[in-house]
Structure 1
Amino acid sequence: MSDKPDPETYYAGAYWGPRKESAEECARRTAHFLTLLAPADPSLAQWYKPARRLKDARKHPLMPPDLPTLTECFRRGVNRERGGPVFEDLGLSFWFGTGEGADLRITCGDYAGSSPNHCVLDLPDRGSNADRVLTTPVLTHVVRSMAVAWEPDWAVAMSRDYRETFAEPRRGGTFVGWVTYLSRRRGVVPPLPAPARIELVEDRGTLLVLTPERLTASNPAHVESGQRVRELLDRAGLMQPVIPK
């Protein structure tokens, strides 16, 4: 048995508040996201409908994006009681993956306001795919693609261990990660201390890159930097939850 600790697991997620959208609109945004995402890395360029076995999933590719197929997948992801009515205000959900360590979970069209709409990408954490994907250029590309396709209030890429370093985590939009996006609807991002840097995402919002190296919870400098930047953003009124309490 190895004493080597398990690697930190990384994800990217975009989150937004109540927004009524149809299955067709959710499919269109998903197709746009997958198209923007594909150039980031070969391991993020092939996606398949869910199946019990990978060889079965590969019979049903989702790339290039096919709007009728994606629309039907969202329609099947409607919230309902078994044998009962559809809960239209809870939106539509769809889960699918690459079969190589990356999975996407999407909830779109929820306008009830009980929980955020989201697009969460679980990233590979081992092997050559992880070595390529868990880099600043790739994750910047991923979060930028989320910002353009989904128009979220907030998006982030980081490890789950790093997320737990925040003293008072609140649901739906208060973390600073390796790469963080804030919609311009939230306000203006203030100057940030080095090594953090800022990029604009078209006219939609601002992308913050906390460090050029891989961000880890085991690095005290990374934790301190994240806390310091979060405090500055909080003072500027930019870190409110996606769903107000």
Structure 2
Amino acid sequence: MQEDYYLGAYWGPRKETALECAQRAVLFFHMLARCDPTFAQWYRGGRGAPRDLPGHPVRAEETEWEQLFLHGRNRTDLGKKVIEDLGFREHVWNAKKERTRVELHCGEYSPFGAGNTCLFYPPEEGPGRERILSAPVLAEVLTRVATAWDPDYAMASSTEMVRLIKKRKREVRVGWLTYLSRRLGTLPPLPAPVRIEPVGTLGWLLVLSPEPMTASNPEHVAFTARVRELLDRAGLIERPKPGSASE
């Protein structure tokens, strides 16, 4: 059975304006375009999109992304008033079929919100899926995500593996590829064949295997769980509860 892979980046409350989020988005999509040819152009939904295109083309420009984020603000059900501390949301994709999708939630600073995220979903089928779901490409994407959005952590994994590995509702998730910010603490020694690469001065990229880690492989599950346990002992897994003073 084919597993559903995704890449997710997560960070706590961070008050940023629509322009500041737009600057991060522009940097992210410029860097993302270097990871794979299919990442050169992105589209959004809305009425009046050209029928021959996947949607409205989105330019990697600050003014355009600022407007998209302002349009994507959370609002109250009654009166449609903007909820400032819940930040901005937008999602884009790159094709009609065999699409990669990116969902962004940024600028949230409510201690009780869902949290800021950058979610990257590769194609569910087609020839591009295998290429994108390779360690070299996903490592590049994960590095770009970390550089642009400065999350607390990020990982690439299958949803099935995440369900098997995580033990708490709120915790740093460990995947086939995992990024950890230096804000979380000090990285402990990890067993081979884990490869550790610095991401500038921001954090570390952990590659657990050169091949995809699958939930259907007991050895993959056991090894991922072992790495998670070592990181947990080092204090890198537990996350503060919403509203706590340390978040």
Aligned residue among 44, 67, 82 for 1:72: 67
Q: Cα distance 1:59–1:132, how it changes in 2: closer, same or farther (>3 A)?
A: same
> Partner of 2:65: helix, strand, or coil?
helix
Aligned partner of 1:237 in structure 2 is 235
Q: 1:183 aligns with which of 181, 184, 206?
A: 181
Counterparts of 1:73-92 in structure 2, within 5 Å, are 73-82=68-77, 83-92=79-88
Shift of 1:16: 0.4
Q: Which residue number corresponds to residue 159 of structure 2?
A: 160
Q: What secondary structure is seen at the aligned counterpart in 2 of 1:120?
A: strand
Question: What's the CA shift for 1:56?
Answer: 6.0
CA distance in 2, matches of 1:165, 1:223: 8
The match for 1:93 is 89
Q: What is the TM-score with the length of structure 2 in the denominator?
A: 0.90
The answer to whether structure 1 residue 208 and structure 2 residue 206 are counterparts is yes
C-alpha distance in structure 2 between counterparts of 1:145 and 1:96, whole Å: 17
Contact 1:153 1:242 in 2 (8 A): no
The answer for the alignment partner of 1:140 in structure 2 is: 139
Cα 1:189–1:131 change in 2 (3 A) is same
Contact kept? 1:108, 1:118, Cα under 8 Å: yes
Q: 1:125 to 1:15 in 2, by over 3 A?
A: same
Alpha-carbon distance in structure 2 between the residues aligned to 1:178 and 1:51: 35
Aligned with residue 112 of structure 1, among 110, 113, 116: 110
Alignment-derived partner of residue 30 in structure 1: 25
Paired residue type of 1:39: R
Q: CA RMSD in A?
A: 1.8
- 8 Å contact kept, 1:51–1:57: no
Tell me by how many angstroms 1:51 deviates. 4.1
Aligned counterpart for 1:60 among listed residues 40, 56, 59:
56
Question: What is residue 7 of structure 2 aligned with on the other side?
Answer: 12
Using the TM superposition, give the Cα deviation of residue 24 of structure 1 relative to its aligned residue in structure 2, in angstroms. 0.6
**Contact persistence 1:17–1:242 (CA under 8 A):** no
Instruction: Deviation per CA, 1:87-128: give whole Å up to 9, x if none.
Output: 100111111111232111111111002221001011113111
Residue 57 of structure 1: CA displacement?
4.9
Q: For residues 224 and 31 of structure 2, what CA distance do their matches in structure 1 show?
A: 28
Alignment partner of 2:175: what SS? coil
Q: Does the aligned pair in 1 maintain the 2:88–2:106 contact within 8 Å?
A: yes
CA contact (8 A) 2:45 2:55 kept: no
Deviation at 1:204, TM superposition (A): 0.4
Give distance in 1, aligned partners of 2:238 and 2:51: 43
How far apart are 1:138 and its partner, in Å? 0.5
Deviation at 1:9, TM superposition (A): 1.2
Q: Please state how far the C-alpha of 1:167 moved relative to its aligned partner.
A: 5.2
CA deviation after TM superposition for structure 1 residue 77, in Å = 0.7
Residue 134 of structure 1 deviates from its aligned partner by 0.3
Q: Percent identity?
A: 46
Q: Given the alignment of the two structures, is residue 43 of structure 1 paired with residue 35 of structure 2, yes or no? A: no
Gaps in structure 2 of 5+ consecutive residues: none
2:169 aligned residue: 170
What amino acid maps onto 1:174 in structure 2? V
Aligned residue for 2:230, secondary structure, equals helix
| Structure 1 gap segments, 5+ residues each | none
Q: In 2, Cα distance between the equivalents of 1:166 and 1:54?
A: 43
SS of equivalent to 2:33: helix
Q: TM-score, normalised by structure 1?
A: 0.91
